[in-house]
Structure 1
Amino acid sequence: MAPHHPEDVRVKAARTPRRAVAAADRTRQPTEVRRRLIVEAAVPLIAERGYASVGVRDVAAAAGVSVGTVTYHFGSVQEILSEAMVLHIERYYAALSEAAEHATSAAEALRLLIDALFTEDTDRHWRMWFDYWSAGDQETDLAFARGQAERYEAWHGQIRALVERGVADGDFVCEDPDGFTVRFAALADGLALQRLRQAPPLSTEDARLHLNRLVAAELGAGR
């Protein structure tokens, strides 16, 4: 049947190209690219609102896609948020590792690491880190647990490698690198939590001071 009004033709003709363009866009954007865009959009949401306060609609709006697109690529909002946390953490510690690698000595590298752990800008990182930590207690997905364990092991490995490098170069004296690593990481986490809660108040300078004192006491650095 012919359309009753000329504008009906214009409307139908206009819709066809839009569908064709959308299909072409989907062809040019493989699954990995779309997943990455969605995950990238989730990172600042977690930083601003917290892991538990971000929903699939929030992520879709931030990524500029439909809710259906998000649910097509991810099985749950937890999957999105988990990948977003991993992306942020890997970027953060990759930057720390790069700085340490360019240091002239293990002692300097450890000082740079401590300086980078506590700045005004790292409060955001620590909020995300503790959100990720807490999520591990509630998550039943084995892949999530494995990923979280890998993040912890990578962090401990970075600290231990610096200690072993310092011992080999004669900068440090340490008979138990593993034990020092545990204490250093635990103190850093505790100071970060106190820094965020401010109960009692803790400045970034004092947080660094406590870690440097541990290094001096256990490794002989700075003596």
Structure 2
Amino acid sequence: MTAADQPPQGGRGPRRAVAAAERTRQPTEVRRRLIVDAAVPLIAERGYASVGVRDVAAAAGVSVGTVTYHFGSVQEVLSEAMVLHIERYYTALSEAAEHATTAAEALRLLVDALFTEDTDRHWRMWFEYWHAGEQGTDEAFARGQADRYAAWHRQIRALAERGVGDGEFSCDDLDGFTTRFAALADGLALQRLRQAPPLTTQEARHHLNRFIERELTPRSPL
């Protein structure tokens, strides 16, 4: 056996070579998504400001050069990661609400999905997204952030409007209800994460449901 035929120490060389060859055959969008997917849990665990390009590369199983080839900066990677997570989360909420038989049921499903034992990670991402928007100067990022806030408000308003249209509720101020619902959800989520004062998921749901009951007055059957 020649030196060229001998396996490298630890067997790591061939795995890197194969991985690199496989990456060159993947379309650009696949490689970008691989990197972005790997960044999502890093942000959730460490925070936006504590994740660097080397962290992302290691999590994705690619070289630092691969990350910098596909993205202009680590901020671009992390921004796309946050957007990806948020879009996935709210798409799932929207789909659940659409399958509800009534607007009241849809709103209950929405509240239940906003506060579970598994949603703390989402809320950390959401607040990191806020922070990134305040710190950054990227106009495209700012526009995208504004669009997502607007889409979230439209989703809430549509559910309330559906109930009014179907005769389930009466509400004189759908826009005001939407603003107050979103603000209360954000505030409860922040308190839930900080636990100052302590707040359980059940308590957060209770507060939101009570708010809905008071703002959207059920109509008495004729």
1:189 and 1:25 map into 2 onto residues whose CA distance is: 43
Asked if the contact 2:94/2:155 (under 8 Å) is kept, the reply is: yes
Equivalents in 2 of 1:207, 1:144: separation in Å?
30
Give yes or no for the alignment of 1:214 onto 2:195.
no
Match of 2:139 in 1: 142
> Are the equivalent residues in 2 in contact too, given 1:216–1:222 (CA < 8 A)?
no
Q: CA deviation at 1:205?
A: 1.0
In structure 2, which of residues 134, 158, 165 is the aligned counterpart of residue 168 of structure 1? 165
Which ranges in structure 1 are unaligned for 5 or more consecutive residues? 1-5, 12-16
Contact 1:56 1:70 in 2 (8 A): yes
Partner of 1:77: 74
Contact 1:38 1:60 in 2 (8 A): yes
Quick one: distance in 1 between partners of 2:56 and 2:17? 26
What is the alpha-carbon distance in structure 1 between the residues aligned to residue 89 and residue 61 of structure 2? 25
Number of corresponding residues: 213
1:121 match: 118
C-alpha RMSD of matched pairs (Å): 2.1
Q: TM-score, structure 2 length as denominator?
A: 0.90
Q: Distance in 1 between matches of 2:16 and 2:47?
A: 37
Q: Which amino acid aligns with 2:70?
A: H
Structure whose CA Rg is larger: 1
Look up the match of 2:59. Answer: 62
Aligned partners of 1:107 and 1:221 also within 8 Å: no
C-alpha change, 1:18 and 1:91, in structure 2 (3 Å) is closer
Whether the 8 Å CA contact 2:97–2:109 is kept in 1: the answer is yes
Q: 1:167-186 deviations in whole A, cap 9, x for unaligned?
A: 10001111211111000000
Match of 2:37 among 40, 62, 65: 40
**Residue equivalent to 1:3:** none
2:96 matches 1:99: yes
**Corresponding residue number in structure 1 for 2:25:** 28
What is the percentage of aligned positions where both structures have the same residue? 82
**Residue 85 (structure 2) pairs with residue 88 (structure 1):** yes
Of residues 169, 188, 193, the one that matches 1:196 is 193
Partners of 2:167 and 2:219 within 8 A in 1: no
Which amino acid in the other structure matches residue 180 of structure 2? R
